[in-house]
Amino acid sequence: MNRLKGAIFMTANFPVSVIIADDEASIRNGLRSAVESMNLNIRVLGTARNGLEAWNLIQTYMPDIIITDIRMPLCDGLNLMKKCKEARFHIDFVILSGFDDFTYAQSAIRYGAKSYLL
């Protein structure tokens, strides 16, 4: 998330909104619990099992941040980022990956990922 956007939300007492997308329930639920327990003025709007579910949530809620797995069924994290970029949605992405293949990171950076976590 860019600093200005974060400062506006934190100063105005509006929560930063997040959607979490991961095909593994334990990761999805663990991230949700971790984010919600930190008391950082962050609101988890929903979770998705794949990129298509995430895309539907994005269009419905227009979150500030997406935390997404890079590889998921039906639509992966990179394609999800690409769709948001093509739709001109201003959403920050944090990419999660179990793959240390640098081409994934390069693609994520090209689409504007704010962070890439292995």
- Identify the domain containing residue 52 by its residue range: 3-117
Interatomic CA distance for residues 83 and 107, integer angstroms? 13
> What domain count does the chain have?
1
User: pLDDT tens, 22-55?
Assistant: 999 999 999 999 988 988 889 999 999 999 999 9
The DSSP string of 33-98 is: HHHHHT-SSEEEEEEESSHHHHHHHHHHH--SEEEEESS-SSS-HHHHHHHHHHTT---EEEEE-S
Q: Which pLDDT score, from 0 to 100, does residue 103 have?
A: 77
Residue 89 has pLDDT above 70, yes or no: yes
What CATH number should be reported for the domain holding residue 66? 3.40.50.2300
